[in-house]
Amino acid sequence: MKRIYQIVIALCLPLALCGPVKAQHTGPYVGGVLGGNMLMDAKATAAQGDSGLKFDPALQWSAVAGWDLAPGNPVGEGRLEIEYTRRSNTIKEIRFSDGTLNGGGDLKVDSLLFNVYGFSRDNRPWSPYATVGAGAARMEASDIKVAGQPFASGSSVVFAYQLGVGIDLALTSYLNLDIGYRFFNSTKPTFTEVDGNSFKMDYFSHSAVLGMRFGF
């Protein structure tokens, strides 16, 4: 995960020093976001007992489309946005009451959220922001294994939301850089073990993100 953050910082630093202008775009935009996703250890609850899943960190990516609100409008300073994100983390270990075994397979998540951003703008090219988003996520347990043996599979659609903070940097009148943090959470997805029993698990993650938006 440290390597991911180093890559994000390396990408941000040259852009932050390139002398952005102070113009603020209003109207529609599209963009892309790349981030480092740290999926927290998850508790899985089943009828026959609880277990714990540990995941490897991974990259995530998003495609966004939205509207930059005009400064001084009655709604407030900020933007409205639709965001699609793909996350996929490999299961590293699975912990049972009698010990921990090597895991395998991936937990893949496709989310679609409606985000609202609020800005604190001044006579400067950068603006701190806070964001909140809500929507749905489809989670797929792809060939989950324990010590090389099949353990669980299936998919589940759940309610999801995220919170975030960051810095929005205007590079030109139509190009913006977004450097931020996101906390992503959902209701518990349900998957099926190989013996036919179902289990529910926690899902929440922390991400550092770097995005570019193009206004038109």
- The dihedral through the CA atoms of 204, 209, 212, 213 has a sign that is positive
Question: Which are the contacts of 153, defined by CB distance < 8 A and separation ≥ 6?
Answer: 141, 142, 143, 144, 191, 192, 194
CA angle 39, 43, 47 (to 5 degrees): 145
Q: Tens digit of pLDDT for each residue in 28-63?
A: 999 999 999 999 999 999 877 888 999 999 999 999
Q: Do 54 and 102 form a contact (C-beta atoms < 8 A)?
A: no
Task: Please return the burial class of 216, using the count of CB atoms within 10 Å of its CB with bins 0-12, 13-18 and 19+.
Answer: exposed
Q: What is the band of 70 on the pLDDT scale with cuts at 50, 70, 90?
A: confident
Query: Is 0.75 topped by the overall pTM?
Result: yes
Domains located in the chain, CATH noted:
2-215 (2.40.160.20)
Structure token pair of residue 139: 């989670």
How do residues 168-196 score in pLDDT, each as one tens digit? Answer: 999 998 999 999 999 999 999 999 988 88
Helices (H) and strands (E) counted in the chain, each on its own, are: 1, 12
**Residue 67 DSSP one-character state:** E
Amino acid at 93: E
Beta bridge partners of 139: 109, 156
Three-state DSSP at 15 gives: helix
* pLDDT on residue 59: 97
